[in-house]
């Protein structure tokens, strides 16, 4: 097996992808890391400023649904491994534009799988395709129970249906062509660099700017939250140590009802912003529910814990506090997102 490898990471300018790129570029000097990203509204190369000049890092601007482009880069760089994160990732957007989700998440994944299969033609030694997926493929839990790796797929939103479909295609390429793959299904992430359309960064920004906090429905929906750096560490482990053709669930055994999480966030923000106790909670506004809103997600991550020795490194209170601090210390990051400046700059650079 060769020592120096070319690793393709897709979606590296996004939230989770940027943390994975940083970890891989700094930890593995024997890898050349190629970050392939289309720089959609969710992609922001500011997230990678600290590693962009590393000698083992290259950014490739392109779309995973562009078959000619993908085939070209696979033939040019002969990727030994792929860590595939590029996706349309927000449930609310999938409700208004489901086709965009089918295109990137299903077709884009298939184009990558095909390129990988055609490049290696059964010479699989030392090769691996890793699909980073979500627990939302399992659908919704009732008041009790946990998702395990053998829970049946039962997706409810166009987002989760597109991720479920791409998981199935990855498995099908494994069964049909022998393509070496691993899949992980992770719970809700939070942390630095998350795009402020998702619950935690949106609410942090709204609290700072004293805007309403729109709580969908009665707020009694439950999510299982994981700090993004713990997810990146898990991805590194699964990529290197996960068994071939296996799936790993990743989650923090950290369930929160939305309304309880929002109240905790309000309390921490009041302290950090030196505001009166209860001031931020006054911004809570109950709004119309999301259609098809999944009641509860909760992950049983005992397989990755037992087999790969992974467990989260921070408690939720610590992770949330670090996340708030990051947003308070990086106000210009949020300002460039909300003004749109982050896109203008890189559109010019990569047009």
Nearer to ligand NAD, 105 or 206 (CB): 105
Q: How far from 33 is each of 47, 52, 71, 82, 239, CA to CA, in Å?
A: 16, 11, 18, 10, 14
Question: Judged by CB under 6 A, which of 54, 119, 202, 328 binds ligand TYD?
Answer: 202
Q: 215 pairs with which residues across the strands?
A: 286
Give strand pairing partners of 287.
216
Please tell me the chain's helix, strand, coil percentages from 3-state DSSP, rounded to the nearest 5. 45, 20, 35
The dihedrals phi and psi of 10, each to the nearest 5 degrees, come to: -95, 150
Tell which one of 14, 180, 242, 312 touches ligand NAD (CB under 6 A). 14
Based on CB atoms, which residue is closest to ligand NAD, 28 or 41? 41
Q: Output 12 or 180, the one with its CB closest to ligand NAD.
A: 12
Pick the binder of ligand TYD from 83, 87, 91, 304 (CB under 6 A).
Answer: 91
151 near ligand NAD (CB under 6 A): no
Identify what 38 binds: ligand NAD, ligand TYD, none; CB under 5 to 8 Å per kind: ligand NAD
Residue (of 225, 299, 313) closest to 265 by Cα position: 225
Q: Is 258 in the site for ligand NAD (CB under 6 A)?
A: no
Instruction: Rule CB under 6 A: choose which of 9, 32, 35, 37 binds ligand NAD.
Output: 37
Number of residues that bind ligand TYD (CB under 6 A): 12
Element of type H or E holding 42: none
Indicate the residue among 132 and 237 with the shorter CB distance to ligand NAD: 132
DSSP 94-156: HHH-HHHHIIIIIIIHHHHHHHHHHHHTT--TT-EEEEEEEGGGG--B-SS--B-TTSPP---
CB of 125 to ligand NAD, least distance (A): 27
- Distance in Å, CB of 85 to ligand NAD, minimum: 4
Closest by CA to 56, choosing from 16, 11, 13, 9, is: 9
Paired tokens of 249: 């669930």
Look up tokens 């409700």; give the residue. 95
How many residues are there in the chain?
Answer: 351
Residue 299 · residue 187 · CB < 8 Å: yes
Nearer to ligand NAD (CB atom), residue 93 or residue 272:
93
44-73 positions binding ligand NAD, by CB under 6 A: 63-65
- Under the binding rule (CB under 6 A), the answer on residue 39 touching ligand NAD is yes
Q: Which residue has the tokens 């590029």?
A: 86
Binding mask 289-328 for ligand NAD (x = CB under 6 A): ----------------------------------------
**5, 9, 15, 297: which one binds ligand NAD (CB under 6 A):** 15
Q: What residues numbered 211-270 form the site for ligand TYD, per CB under 6 A? A: 214-216, 221, 223, 258
d(CA 44, CA 40): 8
Radius of gyration of the chain (CA): 20
- For the segment 68-107, give every residue that binds ligand NAD (CB under 6 A): 85-89, 104
CB of 223 to ligand NAD, least distance (A): 9
Interface contacts to ligand NAD, rule CB under 6 A: 10-11, 13-17, 37-40, 42-43, 63-65, 85-89, 104, 108, 132, 134, 163, 186, 188-189, 195
Interface contacts to ligand TYD, rule CB under 6 A: 91, 188, 198-199, 202, 214-216, 221, 223, 258, 290
């Amino acid at each position: 097996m060769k020592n120096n490898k070319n690793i393709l990471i897709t979606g590296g300018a996004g939230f989770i992808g940027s943390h994975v790129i940083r970890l891989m570029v700094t930890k593995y000097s024997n890898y050349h890391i190629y970050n392939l990203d289309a720089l959609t509204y969710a992609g922001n190369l500011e997230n990678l400023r600290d590693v962009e000049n590393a000698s083992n890092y290259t950014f490739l601007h392109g779309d995973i649904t562009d078959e000619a482009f993908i085939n070209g880069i696979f033939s040019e760089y002969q990727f030994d491994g792929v860590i595939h994160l590029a996706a349309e990732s927000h449930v609310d957007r999938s409700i208004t534009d489901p086709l965009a989700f089918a295109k990137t998440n299903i077709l884009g994944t298939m184009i990558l799988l095909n390129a990988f299969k055609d490049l290696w033609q059964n010479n699989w030694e030392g090769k691996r395709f890793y699909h980073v997926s979500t627990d939302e493929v399992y659908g919704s839990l009732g008041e009790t129970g946990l998702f395990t790796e053998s829970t049946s797929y039962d997706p409810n939103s166009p987002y989760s249906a597109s991720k479920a479909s791409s998981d199935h295609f990855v498995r099908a390429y494994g069964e049909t062509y022998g393509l070496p793959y691993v899949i992980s299904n992770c719970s809700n992430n939070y942390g630095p660099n998350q795009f402020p359309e998702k619950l935690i960064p949106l609410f942090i920004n709204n609290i700072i700017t004293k805007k309403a906090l729109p709580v969908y429905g009665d707020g009694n929906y439950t999510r299982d939250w994981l700090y993004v750096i713990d997810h990146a560490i898990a991805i590194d482990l699964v990529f290197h140590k996960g068994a071939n053709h296996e799936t790993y669930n990743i989650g923090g055994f950290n369930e929160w009802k939305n309304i309880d999480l929002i109240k905790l966030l309000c309390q921490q923000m009041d302290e950090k912003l030196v505001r009166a106790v209860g001031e931020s909670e006054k911004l809570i506004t109950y709004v119309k529910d999301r259609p098809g809103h999944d009641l509860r997600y909760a992950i049983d991550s005992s397989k990755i814990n037992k087999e790969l020795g992974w467990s989260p490194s921070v408690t939720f209170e610590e992770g949330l506090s670090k996340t708030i601090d990051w947003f308070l210390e990086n106000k210009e990051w949020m300002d460039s997102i909300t003004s749109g400046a982050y896109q203008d700059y890189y559109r010019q650079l990569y047009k």
